[in-house]
Amino acid sequence: MLPRLIIEPAVRRALEEDLGLAGDITANAVIPAGHRSTVVMAARRPGVIAGLDAAELAFALVDPAIVMTRHVADGDKVEAGDIVATVTGPSRALLTGERTALNFLGHLSGIATVTAGVVSAVAGTGAAIVCTRKTTPGLRALEKYAVKAGGGGNHRFSLADAVLIKDNHIAIAGGIRPALQAARKHAGHMVKIEIEVDTLDQLREAMDEGVDAVLLDNMSPETLTEAVSIVAGRAITEASGGITPETAGAVARAGVDLISIGWLTHSAPVLDIGLDYREAGSAKL
């Protein structure tokens, strides 16, 4: 689980953006002061849940008197109609925090859901699904957490985590060999070095120079199979580029260790989760 120290700044910024300078003028005008309600957050489509901590914090920052009772956990699969959580507290505060809570919960659950789909597509192959740095600014930790909730793994969190030499680095450095040699001189003994290659000739050159991991970019399953044979266990193999749930299985069967997919975080559709008022005594509570 992510610590509150990481989650709170993002949730607080979202609430500040939504409240503006005058607060929730609709709830304050329409709902009597002191009124209390119980609401449920329910899935409207099947999916995998992620982001319950962020949703709960959105309500708590508006009013600590709000109590959210979870009926599922992050990483759990839900069906349409399943109640995710019951939330009780001052009615004005519930409505004020509603959209921010649902924004986080729906967005992160959407990421977890699509990740789970790709993970299922490669089940039994030995390949792991990982995300990239193609994340929403300010939400990287949360989005990468959602990938893990869906059964995937994380690539770099930041540029400082590892050396990843990509095509533009290679072009400016003057080639694969000089790029790797320069990286090795500057990287500490704890820093891994990965290089992106587009062809098998580039891969052979990288392996001759020595590297910890190779990013095999936009290669067909057939070429990936040959690439894995060339590497022969001397480095981690990572496939990337245009991989979909339909093609992930074939890519994984080529024998790569990792499949990195940017759209897990930058293009995942929101999982539709609604918040509805329930009168006391309702059988649906």
Helix (H, G, I), strand (E, B) or coil at 1: coil
- Would you say 148 and 185 are in contact if contact means Cβ atoms under 8 Å apart? no
**What gap in Å lies between CA 72 and CA 282, rounded to an integer?**
20
> Which residue's entry shows tokens 């319950």?
52
DSSP per residue, 128-182: EEE--S---TT-HHHHHHHHHHTT-B---SSTTS-EEE-HHHHHHHTSHHHHHHH
Marked catalytic residue, from 99, 177, 192, 204: 99
Marked catalytic residue, from 53, 217, 238, 257: 217
Strand order in the sheet with 36-43: 67-70, 83-90, 36-43, 273-277
Helix (H, G, I), strand (E, B) or coil at 242: coil
166 as an active site residue: the answer is yes
- Would you say 265 and 136 are in contact if contact means Cβ atoms under 8 Å apart? yes
Marked catalytic residue, from 134, 184, 204, 278: 134
- Would you say 155 and 147 are in contact if contact means Cβ atoms under 8 Å apart? no
Write the CA distances from 33 to 18, 24, 56, 145, integer angstroms: 21, 13, 22, 37
Residues in contact with 30: Cβ distance below 8 Å, sequence separation at least 6, in sequence order: none
First to last CA, the chain: 27
- Would you say 113 and 80 are in contact if contact means Cβ atoms under 8 Å apart? no
99 as an active site residue: the answer is yes
Helix, strand, coil share (%) of the chain residues, nearest 5: 45, 20, 35
Marked catalytic residue, from 98, 196, 238, 257: 196
196 as an active site residue: the answer is yes
Marked catalytic residue, from 4, 166, 234, 284: 166
- Catalytic sites, residue numbers: 99, 134, 166, 196, 217
